[in-house]
Chain A
Amino acid sequence: MLADIIENAKTLPRAWWIGILAAVGFTLVYAQTGSPYYQSFLMSLAMYVVLCSSWNIISGFAGYISFGHVAFWGLGAYLTAILINNAAMPWPVALIGAGVITAAFAALISHPLLRLSGVYFAIAMLAMAEAVKVVVSYARPITGGGGGIYLRPLIGVDDAFLMMSLLAIVLVAMIALMMKTRFIQSLLAIRNNETASDSLGIPTARTKMFALVTSAFFPAIAGGIYILNTAFIDPKTAFDISITINTILMTVFGGIGTVLGPVLGPIAFMILSEGLWTNFPFVHKALLGVIIILLVLFLPTGIVPAIRKVFTGRKVARGTP
């Protein structure tokens, strides 16, 4: 895979490199100079880029639509706090530990859940997230139960913004560089036709498991960064289904199965949402709903495929960077 990534790095359009470097540069500068309000807003935006891009791996590329993605984010937040409070780990170690344990959890559940497909997988993931929420709510000695878990504030909003943004940039760049690799091409084949893929030598079960594990690791880290900054989380927030719904909505908005869709989707959605909230505080949700319906009707493939269609004049497949 490394040889493919190096080859992809050589052929990645220059605009991509400029975009990545600009994003890194902006993040480093704005973390020092930006206002806390906008840093907080941009941190949420970066968090959704991480959630959308990671959801896109299992759902956009592999075609297994997950309604339980928030579970990985919530687990990451809780595990980070638990590892710091109960195991006295330094927060960077706890953060990585939370990501690894969440990824291991994803590997564990992948065997039964990825035998399902379509709506059955979606419902099973939803049920998994609810089950995790219930377990966390009742494991009071470790998790604080329904009252939530507290943490000594460890990083400010400027550092949280910096870390979340760099995480988002690393994830998006990694996916862009991995598009023409065996892993993502195998996922695209599985999404197309799992039986044919299996008969062409793709170990579908193992590939899907790896997709779910990757898809779980990054939101867990994002959840960890979130709690390092907020210093508190409860089950209702950590496993809030609206986070999953927003993730799906933003990715579809941007273009499911593309690399840039899960980046442009959250940017467009959050700017729109923030603008409506500022200008129409009493009806902003109704207006947002109307806009979403119109977009689904008139731009069903999302922003990125629509833009590509305008420029290339042809339908562009999912999985195109």
Chain B
Amino acid sequence: MSDPLLSVRNLSKRFGGVVANDDISFDIAAGELVSIIGPNGAGKSTLFKTVCGVTPPRSKRGPDSGKVFFRGRDTSGFAAHRMCEAGLALVFQETEPLKGMTALENAAIGALVRTGSFHEALRLGGQALERVELGHRADIMVDELTLAERRRLEIGRALATEPVLLLLDEAMAGLTPTEVQSAVALVQRIAGDGVTVILIEHVLQAVMAVSQRIIVLDRGRKIADGTPSDVVADPAVITAYLGSELSNA
């Protein structure tokens, strides 16, 4: 792989005595669509947040040890807004709409990183909403959107930042099977537009449908990294995470 877009090198993150991420390394090439899976508590969301510079209160920003390189720069310990400026966007596991604003204003907040003008941001936000098929709901207050629409809005708002790398943390959680299908199509469309995507997802139907590659974490460590067919056949993965799923298949 030449010049990875994102390179995580020996990353470790601890919270007190709990090791959330332990010596994790992987590379993501531009244009890839990769999923990160693992049981609850495997350290997936912590990994995303550490890479993105999102810091829990009273916690050190960035990895405790190891490095993160994004677009060739050492971005370990960068604040989240600097990572966003650099072209990395994160969609949180919990929907985080900015309440008291319309869908369009929410998306415009994302676009502010690319323009100093709020009016221009509204225009860019409108385009981002069209990309996630929410253009017709632009003037609706976010409290009035359905869960599926709020999930789309989160993705639209992240797209408004014009990312080259989009991290989606369980963006399909709580959706109906039909909505998941629609979300899968959306993720594929975003990837088709040239945005590199990394998913954390528990919906295996979605993971298998979209992923070119899967990274598996268990108890903070990376235990597998390969194509979907390789990963599901990996005994370590079956033991750690997929065993019950496969036996039911």
Q: Which residues of B contact A (CB under 8 A)?
A: 52-54, 79-81, 83-85, 89-90, 92, 96, 98-101, 105, 108-110, 112-113, 116-119, 121, 141, 157-158, 161
Complex Cα spacing A261 to B231, Å: 59
Tell me whether A197 and B109 are in contact in the complex, defined as CB-CB below 8 angstroms, given that A4-B117, A182-B118 are known contacts. Answer: yes
CB proximity of A271 to chain B, nearest CB, Å = 30
Residues of B near A204 (CB, < 8 A) are 81
Complex Cα spacing A120 to B119, Å: 35
26 contacts between A and B (CB under 8 A): A4-B117, A4-B118, A7-B117, A181-B118, A185-B105, A185-B121, A186-B109, A186-B112, A188-B98, A192-B98, A192-B100, A193-B98, A197-B98, A197-B109, A198-B80, A198-B81, A199-B52, A199-B53, A199-B54, A199-B83, A200-B81, A200-B113, A200-B161, A317-B99, A318-B100, A319-B100
Q: A290 an interface residue at 8 Å Cβ cutoff?
A: no
Q: A173 an interface residue at 8 Å Cβ cutoff?
A: no
A199 touches B80 (CB 8 A): yes
> B92's closest neighbor in chain A, by CB?
A196
> A319's closest neighbor in chain B, by CB?
B100
Q: Which residues of A contact B (CB under 8 A)?
A: 1, 3-4, 7, 180-182, 185-186, 188-189, 192-193, 195-204, 317-319
> B108's closest neighbor in chain A, by CB?
A185
A3 touches B96 (CB 8 A): no
Tell me whether A182 and B116 are in contact in the complex, defined as CB-CB below 8 angstroms, given that A189-B98, A192-B99, A317-B101 are known contacts. Answer: yes
B112 touches A201 (CB 8 A): yes
Tell me whether A200 and B105 are in contact in the complex, defined as CB-CB below 8 angstroms, given that A1-B116, A181-B118, A195-B54 are known contacts. Answer: no
B52 touches A189 (CB 8 A): no
A200 touches B109 (CB 8 A): yes
B101 touches A192 (CB 8 A): yes
Residues of A near B98 (CB, < 8 A) are 188-189, 192-193, 196-197
> A179's closest neighbor in chain B, by CB?
B118
Complex Cα spacing A180 to B119, Å: 8
**A4, A182, A186, A195 — most chain B CB neighbours (10 Å):** A182
Residues of B near A318 (CB, < 8 A) are 100
Knowing that A188-B101, A202-B113 touch, tell me 12 more A-B residue pairs with CB under 8 angstroms: A7-B117, A180-B118, A182-B121, A185-B121, A195-B96, A198-B80, A199-B53, A199-B81, A200-B84, A200-B110, A201-B81, A317-B101
B96 touches A193 (CB 8 A): yes
Residues of B near A193 (CB, < 8 A) are 96, 98
Complex Cα spacing A199 to B96, Å: 11
> A195's closest neighbor in chain B, by CB?
B54
Residues of A near B121 (CB, < 8 A) are 182, 185
A201 touches B110 (CB 8 A): yes
Residues of A near B85 (CB, < 8 A) are 201
B117 touches A189 (CB 8 A): no
